[in-house]
Amino acid sequence: MEFYYGVDMGGTTIKMGRFDREGTLLEKWEIPTRKEDGGKHIFDDIAEAILTRTAAAGGSVDSIKAVGIDIPGTIWEDGYLELSVNVGLKDIYPTEELSRRLNHVPVACGNDASIAALGEYWKGGGAGHRSMVLITLGTGVGGGIVLDGKVIAGAHGIGGEIGHLPVRFGEQEVCNCGNRGCLEQVSSATGIVRETKRTLVSSDQPSSLREIRNLTAKDVLDAAKAGDALAKSVMDTVTHYLGVAMGIVSNIVDPEVFVIGGGVSAAGQDLIEWIREAYDANMYMTKKRADVQLAQLGNDAGIYGSVRLVLPE
Amino acid sequence: MEFYYGVDMGGTTIKMGRFDREGTLLEKWEIPTRKEDGGKHIFDDIAEAILTRTAAAGGSVDSIKAVGIDIPGTIWEDGYLELSVNVGLKDIYPTEELSRRLNHVPVACGNDASIAALGEYWKGGGAGHRSMVLITLGTGVGGGIVLDGKVIAGAHGIGGEIGHLPVRFGEQEVCNCGNRGCLEQVSSATGIVRETKRTLVSSDQPSSLREIRNLTAKDVLDAAKAGDALAKSVMDTVTHYLGVAMGIVSNIVDPEVFVIGGGVSAAGQDLIEWIREAYDANMYMTKKRADVQLAQLGNDAGIYGSVRLVLPE
């Protein structure tokens, strides 16, 4: 029996999957992320879960062939994790921590956004393409780049940080990163709500959104799809800056396809059409351009991407 | 006897180099680019030059092991050249054209800017690094990306088009590409002259540049280095936008080193220091950042990069 595990570490839960050597998902589950004590229990918990599930499936320690893991933080090229604010880990080599708790099986590690991109490239919205850029529109804007099957993590762990491309000049508010005018400030779920509130204040245009007390990005997307002109004008702004960023990414790595994921992408095909238009309007160098697709794996992208790091070719 | 050839096709001349299998340059020369008749003589000329030089060196046709060539134009992933405005070629497969004139030796082809980057990565300013982005500041601004030894040419041939990153919002003039505010409009030699002329008109500041009739980028760089305040303020603008673009590139591919080439880079280490400062000011995600170095191969970058495409590992 040969099992491969994919582990997707988040701030609240750790998602885990058991796979066979062909990459078929055999079972998946999650455990809570114990962030207390500087995250010192996290690797014990992961190792214990893997050992338990292996035994329950009738396997032994020798059945555990390899484990891939992603972490929300900057992983250096040599595997060093400087800091993961979300899970409380710092100053460790995650692969060593996990490997020595699992009879020294091979372990590989990557940044969560990059590894989600690898998952989508392999089994999701990027399948069948040679190069792909994932853009996740959630609380923030994340990104991951996969070229010829390889994640572009970067020499200092900031490859694919698309959320922090400077696209909106004149923005006065400061982004979490310290800059002003980052893509994340306008095209994340948070950004959509902020942009809507600004527009509601600055205009007298009637809108169904004026009735809603705790406005969410979903409210704005629903209203825009239903034909609310103010909501649509907000989404025009949101997708315009996304289109600028996609034009920039195309002029640097020029992928075959962009895959759009994250909570905002639940808006579906309407959103994809708006994004395609905005991207087209921001491509000047060639008439040939990348396709734009929805992500397909949802919350499973991380376990698929993680296990892909360690599966045999 | 085993010879490998690198060919760098430009609008005026074709630079050529003969190398041994270790990549040592044995001789180099150039021939004129015969653009007439839709460039139909170009591949005959290149093949004849290679055959002549091989014979002169005491070799036979069998001594020609492989040829690498770069072309100023967009090469698709399958090797198709849609159009090279500068040399008049279009709608051909350059590798096939050259290979069938040379007894079907292996030929590889790439875009000139990307291949120059490969040359600098291998033997120039990027040597010893795993990942590098070349930015050439010449008449325009070109770019090339090399990650783990591989050129990132892109799915549609526009990988590394750093000159057309939109960085200067509010720019009214239209770039050659159709957009406004491209890096090339401000940080190329042409851009430096334009920016200087604008500044001379809009300010009353005294400057040695006011005496010069046919202002060149070199005049501006020389004046800035000599302490001319107006020239330095122009260069602050020029390097600021270059720093913005480098910050963008770092947030996408995050290279170990940027290498600065092209005619403007003749300004040397002073320019590199100004660029480092501007890049630092535009990096928000991490304190670790890429080094900035001068290009070293000058006009030979293309023949080195081309031959690297075809040398044995």
CATH number at residue B194: 3.30.420.40
CB contact under 8 A, A164 and B255: no
- Which of B145, B161, B244 has the CB atom closest to A285's CB atom? B161
Compute the average pLDDT of residues A218-224: 98
Q: Is B259 buried (19+), middle (13-18) or exposed (0-12) by CB count in 10 A?
A: buried
> pLDDT at residue B268 above 90?
yes
Q: Is B233 buried (19+), middle (13-18) or exposed (0-12) by CB count in 10 A?
A: middle
> pLDDT at residue A272 above 90?
yes
Chain B residues with CB under 8 Å of A175 CB are 284
> pLDDT at residue B288 above 90?
no
Residue A171 shares a structural domain with residue A283: yes
> pLDDT at residue A224 above 80?
yes
Measured CA to CA, the distance from residue A176 to residue B245 in angstroms comes to: 20
Rg of the Cα atoms in chain B: 20
Residue B11 shares a structural domain with residue B142: no
Chain A residues with CB under 8 Å of B161 CB are 251-252, 254, 285
Max Cα separation, chain B? 68
User: Helix (H, G, I), strand (E, B), or coil: what is residue B207?
Assistant: coil
> pLDDT at residue A313 above 90?
no
Residue A305 lies in a domain: no
User: Helix (H, G, I), strand (E, B), or coil: what is residue B19?
Assistant: strand
Residue A311 lies in a domain: no
Residue B246's pLDDT is: 97
CA angle B248, A308, A272 (to 5 degrees): 50
Look up residue A151 and give its two tokens. Answer: 């994640």
pLDDT category at A11 given cuts 50, 70, 90 is confident
Residue B122 lies in a domain: no
Q: Which of B111, B162, B256 is nearest to A248 (CA)?
A: B162
- Which of A145, A156, A244 has the CB atom closest to B166's CB atom? A244
Question: What count of CB pairs under 8 Å joins A to B?
Answer: 131
Compute the average pLDDT of residues B254-281: 96
User: Helix (H, G, I), strand (E, B), or coil: what is residue B14?
Assistant: strand
Residue B289 shares a structural domain with residue B304: no
Chain B residues with CB under 8 Å of A247 CB are 166
Chain A residues with CB under 8 Å of B248 CB are 165-166, 248, 252
Measured CA to CA, the distance from residue B291 to residue B255 in angstroms comes to: 9
Q: A75 has which bridge partners?
A: A81
C-alpha distances (whole Å) from B186 to each of A181, B140, B177, B191 are 21, 9, 14, 4
Domain that holds residue A177: 125-296
Residue B97's pLDDT is: 95
Q: How many CA atoms lie within 13 A of B149 on its CB side?
A: 5
- Of A52-66, A114-128, B155-169, the range with the lowest mean pLDDT is B155-169
Residue B222's pLDDT is: 98
3-state secondary structure A60-82: CHHHEEEEEEEECCCECCCCCEE
Look up residue A272 and give its two tokens. Answer: 């994809």
- pLDDT, tens digit, 9 for 90 and up, residues B9-20: 998 999 999 999
> pLDDT at residue B21 above 90?
yes
> pLDDT at residue A132 above 90?
yes
CB A89 within 8 A of CB A81: yes
Residue B245's pLDDT is: 97
Residue B161 shares a structural domain with residue B275: yes
CB contact under 8 A, B248 and A74: no
Residue B30 lies in a domain: yes
User: Helix (H, G, I), strand (E, B), or coil: what is residue B249?
Assistant: helix
Residue A271 shares a structural domain with residue A138: yes
Residue B123 lies in a domain: no
How close is the nearest chain A Cα to the Cα of B216, in Å?
A: 28
Residue A170 shares a structural domain with residue A278: yes
User: Helix (H, G, I), strand (E, B), or coil: what is residue B68?
Assistant: strand
- Proportion of chain B above pLDDT 70, given as a percent: 100
Residue A145 shares a structural domain with residue A8: no
Residue of A145, A156, A287 for testing the chain B interface, max B β-carbons within 10 Å: A156
Residue ending a domain, among A85, A112, A139, is A112
Residue B275 lies in a domain: yes
End-to-end Cα distance, chain A: 18
Residues whose CB is less than 8 angstroms from the CB of residue A188 and which lie 6 or more positions away in sequence, other chains included:
A137, A138, A139, A140, A141, A163, A264
- pLDDT, tens digit, 9 for 90 and up, residues A134-190: 999 998 999 999 999 999 999 988 899 999 999 999 999 999 889 999 999 999 999
* Cβ count near A88 (within 10 Å): 17
Residue A301 lies in a domain: no
Residue A150 shares a structural domain with residue A289: yes
CB B171 within 8 A of CB B185: yes
Residue A71 shares a structural domain with residue A134: no
> pLDDT at residue B287 above 80?
no
Residue B132 shares a structural domain with residue B275: yes
Compute the average pLDDT of residues A101-120: 95
Q: How many CA atoms lie within 13 A of A299 on its CB side?
A: 10
Residue A313 lies in a domain: no
Chain B residues with CB under 8 Å of A166 CB are 244, 247-248, 282
Residue A158 shares a structural domain with residue A290: yes
Residue A78's pLDDT is: 80
End-to-end Cα distance, chain B: 18
Number of domains, chain A:
2
User: Which region holds residue B231: left if phi is over 0, alpha if psi is between -120 and 50, else beta?
Assistant: alpha
CB contact under 8 A, A177 and B153: no
Residue B99 shares a structural domain with residue B156: no
Q: Which of A46, A59, A162, A60 is nearest to A109 (CA)?
A: A46
Residue A156's pLDDT is: 87
